[in-house]
């Protein structure tokens, strides 16, 4: 490159502008090259050498590159690093470029045409190397229509698509459930979360979205798929337009959309999901999360389905019962469970193989995976069909498992047992499937034998024993002899023609060799073309049956989830919960699945505890020392509810759970500095959401409300929140606190009961029993916990003396909560305060300030202080 705009530079810059905010992979031969700032950014992320190539505007051009054959591994690292990549491929060969230039009358060297063929983004991946096998990869779009938010989400690696509508204040919870890799929104949308991809608002048209869905699925109406609102269809329009953009007009696999009703699943906001560590631990990653502790699926598709179940537990009792019946059936029949798990373990990921095939990125190996997966599904169906005690859900799944007979038989005849991942070299169509292809292969495959025979013939004719027939990519086949024997082949009537002189050797051609080479090359090319035609035919069969294949993949995943849940239950002594109507939450011997697994790994035992909430005992106030197990107890009961409504067994001796509509967890908090919120602000925002949204059917766990501010403020807030939960929300709630003073609430709140985690001090040491007992905690054991944490003895001793003085002062004044027992409940207290304020306002309004003497003004101030309850 020179300082001027060379043709290649002009081509590159045009494509770079088209790539927008994506890195540009510019194909040059066997490499994808990156230039300018793209090269600097990619080199830093990939840890590869940054070089230069030529100049532009008088400055060296930064450059780096990656080999085309290993590009996927580099793309994976770039995507993980938050990049998006535009792939610019060569759209013609050098020979085609040369011929085009000749026809255009240009004698100069022809520039190979290039075009962006695809955008690689986090939400639009299909390649195995770029996807996590056990995690769905969701792309979502959101927009607002007439005051409501529409959401469209799909996983293009499997084709599943769902549409949803929600209120603007529920958008965060919906997005937290989806866990989308990318979110597409209209440009300038005020509700757009940080990191969203903005697109033209014209793409988010409900009419356009509806029409695109009709065309994609070949229907005149969407009524057969469900009922979709205008916000849903507008979001679908934005999603499909984005897929059009990244695929350059080639859409991936999209199955018929499913309408999701918010009330059909247990609602959880973002804070609750993070607190309960459902799919990801607080430290990040799967390790230490709920799914990590319970996932016993043997397939990636099963693990993805389990994650979806845990993200959106059901609120339909009959649907929950069907899942539980299936888990119970497999739990009680260990031999059948193991047979099914063994069969599933050997199966490929049918759904993702189908996604690649439909998206036009499939390989012969993907077709082989469809064949093997569908064949394995028939084996599973045959195994189940012999049973006469199938659960309802199995009977529903069975038809989706046993089909595809003709397609499987055809694929088994057409494909070799282990097809390759690349189709450019052929070799994936089975011998005997096509007689003409077999003959072409025979001709091509006999090349070594034919060439060897010709070589022997030429040696005999020339008398040159050192004569050899060789091949390279430039000359093709040629004859080579040492220079000292070249004269015999240079004779006019020898039948050989000179091609190239080398140091110590000369190369020749011959008519017979040329004819044999042409025959071999032509046969090989025809064989590859024949295999390609067969490949396209098999792909067309798979695409035509995509919906049925997708249902088979979903059925296999559901069976894997049920078998895995049954395996986990048998392994841990879990029990089947009973999800019932009403407001009970009766859990006997409940355990925290993650904590128990961690303790077992260390050879320790988890202490189980009961939880018995009901209409007349719906709010438990739980005290006791830090590290005593309060937070664990709160979370374990929330997780048991979640597991039960997801349709799985639970870690308990018995569980009877009244259906929960919304689950809230405010346990622990941290700064959110990005939003300008302190720990206490985060705590209050989460608490406010609970008080505003929890219904009688909700389940709430609250831990240490008010601890982030002063003692008096904190106690006042905790007191008022507990009253509000009891009187206004009237939901089932576990409320852990260190404020002993809150025990006074039991005197006025009839549905509140007091409990504590037990602890004992023995010879100066604190013994945490991790057992829950009735009644208030006698104290917090804060100094004992500090001693356990390693606080120096001198500091502990000083704290003890300060505590003694504080407790003495509390005893003399009636304590921190003196007089709180006389307060009316939440609403009444508020009314009294407002009445007092009204009286003071009236007096101030009637007062003639200008007529007051200084002494009169002083007396008025004293009167006001007395009426406010503060003596001068």
Q: What are the structural domains of the chain?
A: 7-120 (3.40.1170.10), 132-260 (3.30.420.110), 295-404+545-572 (1.10.1420.10), 437-527 (1.10.1420.10), 580-821 (3.40.50.300), 826-867 (no CATH)
Q: Which of 540-544, 848-852, 868-872 has the lowest mean pLDDT?
A: 868-872
Does the pLDDT of residue 607 top 80, yes or no? yes
Cα–Cα distance for residue pair 47/51, rounded to 1 Å: 13
631 known member of a binding site: yes
CB count within 10 Å of CB 363 equals 19
626 known member of a binding site: yes
Of 840 and 472, which is predicted with more confidence?
472
Reduced 3-state DSSP string for 15-47:
HHHHHCCCEEEEEECCEEEEEHHHHHHHHHHHC
Q: What confidence tier does 304 reach under pLDDT thresholds 50, 70, 90?
A: very high
Segment 507-512 shows an average pLDDT of 91
Q: Which of 39-53, 165-179, 809-823 has the lowest mean pLDDT?
A: 809-823
CB within 8 Å of 388: residues ≥ 6 apart: none
Tokens of 355: 């996604």
Of 256 and 474, which is predicted with more confidence?
256
Under DSSP, is residue 768 helix (H, G, I), strand (E, B) or coil? Answer: strand
- Which pLDDT tens digit goes with each residue over 390-402? 999 999 999 999 8
Judge whether 320 and 314 are in contact, CB under 8 Å: yes
Segment 365-383 shows an average pLDDT of 95
Does the pLDDT of residue 820 top 70, yes or no? no
pLDDT of residue 1: 44
CA atoms within 13 A on the CB side of 482: 6
pLDDT of residue 672: 46
Distance of CA 487 to the CA centre of its chain: 72
* Maximum separation of any 2 CA atoms in the chain, in Å: 140
Does the pLDDT of residue 865 top 80, yes or no? no
630 known member of a binding site: yes
Of 368 and 668, which is predicted with more confidence?
368
pLDDT of residue 149: 97
432 known member of a binding site: no
Q: Which of 89-98, 243-252, 438-447 has the highest mean pLDDT?
A: 243-252
706 known member of a binding site: no
pLDDT of residue 677: 60
Q: What confidence tier does 704 reach under pLDDT thresholds 50, 70, 90?
A: confident
pLDDT of residue 181: 95
808 known member of a binding site: no
pTM of the model: 0.85
Does the pLDDT of residue 671 top 60, yes or no? no
Q: What is the dihedral of CA 826, 829, 831, 832, to 10 degrees?
A: 170
Judge whether 35 and 26 are in contact, CB under 8 Å: yes
pLDDT of residue 674: 43
Tokens of 347: 């199966």
Cα–Cα distance for residue pair 735/634, rounded to 1 Å: 8
Cα–Cα distance for residue pair 508/521, rounded to 1 Å: 19
- Which pLDDT tens digit goes with each residue over 753-767? 999 988 776 665 666
pLDDT of residue 869: 60
Q: Which candidate, 623, 637, 634, places its Cα nearest to that of 666?
A: 634
The kind and range of the H/E element at 117 are: strand 114-120
Q: What confidence tier does 523 reach under pLDDT thresholds 50, 70, 90?
A: confident
Does the pLDDT of residue 72 top 50, yes or no? yes
Segment 543-547 shows an average pLDDT of 95
275 known member of a binding site: no
Q: Which candidate, 238, 351, 244, 342, places its Cα nearest to that of 301?
A: 351
N-to-C CA span, the chain: 88
Of all residues in the chain, the percent with pLDDT exceeding 90 is 65
Mean per-residue pLDDT over the chain, rounded:
89
57 known member of a binding site: no
């Amino acid at each position: 490159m020179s300082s001027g705009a060379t043709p290649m530079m002009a081509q590159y810059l045009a494509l770079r502008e088209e790539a927008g905010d994506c890195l540009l992979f510019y194909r040059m031969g066997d490499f994808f090259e990156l230039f300018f700032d793209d090269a600097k950014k990619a080199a830093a992320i990939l840890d590869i050498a940054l070089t230069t190539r030529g100049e532009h505007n008088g400055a060296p051009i930064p450059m780096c590159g990656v080999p085309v054959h290993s590009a996927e591994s580099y793309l994976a690292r770039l995507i993980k690093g938050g990049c998006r990549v535009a792939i610019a491929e060569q759209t013609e060969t050098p020979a085609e470029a040369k011929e085009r230039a000749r026809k255009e009358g240009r004698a100069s060297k022809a520039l190979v045409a290039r075009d962006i063929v695809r955008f690689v983004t986090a939400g639009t991946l299909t390649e195995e190397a770029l996807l996590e096998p056990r995690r769905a990869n969701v792309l979502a779009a959101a927009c607002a229509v007439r005051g409501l938010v529409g959401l469209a989400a799909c996983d293009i690696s499997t084709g599943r698509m769902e549409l949803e509508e929600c209120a603007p204040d529920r958008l965060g919870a919906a997005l937290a459930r989806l866990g989308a890799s990318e979110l597409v929104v209209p440009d300038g949308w005020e509700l757009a979360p940080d990191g969203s991809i903005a697109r033209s608002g014209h793409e988010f048209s409900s009419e356009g979205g509806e029409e695109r869905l009709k065309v994609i699925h070949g229907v005149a109406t969407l009524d057969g798929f469900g009922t979709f609102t205008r916000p849903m269809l507008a979001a679908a329009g934005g999603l499909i337009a984005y897929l059009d953009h990244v695929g350059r007009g080639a859409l991936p696999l999209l199955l018929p959309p499913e309408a999701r009703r918010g009330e059909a699943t247990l609602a959880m906001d973002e804070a609750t999901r993070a607190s309960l560590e459902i799919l990801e631990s607080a430290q990040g990653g799967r390790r230490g999360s709920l799914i990590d502790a319970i996932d016993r699926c043997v397939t990636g598709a099963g693990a993805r389905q389990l994650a979806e179940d845990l993200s959106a537990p059901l609120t339909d009792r009959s649907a929950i019962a069907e899942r539980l019946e299936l888990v119970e059936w497999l739990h009680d029949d260990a031999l059948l469970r193991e047979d099914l798990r063994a069969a599933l373990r050997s199966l490929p990921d049918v759904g993702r193989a189908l996604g690649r095939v439909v998206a036009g990125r499939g390989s012969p190996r993907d077709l082989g995976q469809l064949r093997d997966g569908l064949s394995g599904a028939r084996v599973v169906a045959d195994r189940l069909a012999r049973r006469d005690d199938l659960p309802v859900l199995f009977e529903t799944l069975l038809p989706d498992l046993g089909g595809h007979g003709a397609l499987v038989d055809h694929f088994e005849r057409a494909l070799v047992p282990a097809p390759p991942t690349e189709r450019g070299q052929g070799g994936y169509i089975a011998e005997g499937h096509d007689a003409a292809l077999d003959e072409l292969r025979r001709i091509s495959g006999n090349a070594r034998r034919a060439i060897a025979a010709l070589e022997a013939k030429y040696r005999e004719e020339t008398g040159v024993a050192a004569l050899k027939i060789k091949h390279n990519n430039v000359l093709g086949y040629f004859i080579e002899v040492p220079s000292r024997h070249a004269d015999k082949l240079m004779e006019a009537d020898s039948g050989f023609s000179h091609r190239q002189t080398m140091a110590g050797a000369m190369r020749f051609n011959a008519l017979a060799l040329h004819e044999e080479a042409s025959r071999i090359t032509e046969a090989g090319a025809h064989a590859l073309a024949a295999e390609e035609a067969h490949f396209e035919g098999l792909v067309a069969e798979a695409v035509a049956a995509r919906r049925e294949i997708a249902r088979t993949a979903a059925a296999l995943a559901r069976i894997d989830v049920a078998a895995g849940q049954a395996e986990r239950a048998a392994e841990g002594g879990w029990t089947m919960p009973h999800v019932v109507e009403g407001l009970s939450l009766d859990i006997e011997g409940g355990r925290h699945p993650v904590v128990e697994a961690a303790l077992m790994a260390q050879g320790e035992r988890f202490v189980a505890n009961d939880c018995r909430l009901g209409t007349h005992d719906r709010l438990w106030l739980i005290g006791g020392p830090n590290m005593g197990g309060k937070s664990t107890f709160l979370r374990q009961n929330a997780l048991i509810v979640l597991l039960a409504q997801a349709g799985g067994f639970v870690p308990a001796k018995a569980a009877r759970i009244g259906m929960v509509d919304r689950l809230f967890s405010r346990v622990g908090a941290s700064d959110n500095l990005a939003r300008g919120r302190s720990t206490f602000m985060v705590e209050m925002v989460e608490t406010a959401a609970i008080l505003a949204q929890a219904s009688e059917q909700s389940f709430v766990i609250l831990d240490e409300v008010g601890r982030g501010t002063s003692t008096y403020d904190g106690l006042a807030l905790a007191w008022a929140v507990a009253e509000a939960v009891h009187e206004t929300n009237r939901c089932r709630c576990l409320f852990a606190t260190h404020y002993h003073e809150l025990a006074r609430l039991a005197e006025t709140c009839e549905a509140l009961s007091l409990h504590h985690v037990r602890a004992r001090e023995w010879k100066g040491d604190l013994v945490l029993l991790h057992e829950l007992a009735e009644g208030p905690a006698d104290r917090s054991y804060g100094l004992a916990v500090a001693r356990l944490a390693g606080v120096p003895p001198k500091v502990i001793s000083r704290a003890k003396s300060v505590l003694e003085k504080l407790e003495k002062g509390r005893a003399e004044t009636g304590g921190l909560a003196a007089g709180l027992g006389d307060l009316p409940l939440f609403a009444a207290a508020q009314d009294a305060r407002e009445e007092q304020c009204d009286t003071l306002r009236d007096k101030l309004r009637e007062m003639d300030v200008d007529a007051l003497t200084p002494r009169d003004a002083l007396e008025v101030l004293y009167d006001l202080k007395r009426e406010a309850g503060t003596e001068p």
